[in-house]
Amino acid sequence: MKKVAIVGCGAYMDSGYGCPGEWRCLKAAAMGDHVFEDNSQVTAFIRCECPGRTTLPNLGMAMKLSETKPDVIHLSTCLVNAKPECPYIKAQDLAAMLESKTGIKVILGTHDYH
């Protein structure tokens, strides 16, 4: 089973309702739904915090403390499809930065639940 780390948009998590982090990303990973190709184990769930400077170190710390290197990193659907968009960084650029710094493939999105 694949191990995955998920990065969600903390700004949305603070003000959204019915999610994020409550079930959508977690269910999609567990069931292998939508963006996930197979049932996956979530080994880290990181909140991006504006302006995003702590995301990489927090991800690194989660991997270190959990002693688990994920096979894949997912940026959450709420982060990738944010409207209005994140004012600090495009999801594609955040993905490219995390991928180059960690050497782990980053996938845009997690689920299509409403």
Q: Does 51 bind ligand SF4 (CB under 6 A)?
A: yes
Helix 91-102, helix 55-66: angle, nearest 10 = 40
Residue 49 or 99: which CB sits closer to ligand SF4? 49
Q: Does 49 bind ligand SF4 (CB under 6 A)?
A: yes
Applying CB under 6 A, which part among 19-27, 29-37, 42-50, 66-74 lies near ligand SF4? 42-50
> Taking a C-beta distance cutoff of 8 angstroms, is the pair 69, 104 a contact?
yes
Residue 84: Cβ-neighbour burial (10 angstroms; 0-12, 13-18, 19+): exposed
Nearest distance, CB of residue 9 and ligand SF4, angstroms: 3
Residues that bind ligand SF4 (CB under 6 A): 9-11, 48-52, 79, 86, 88
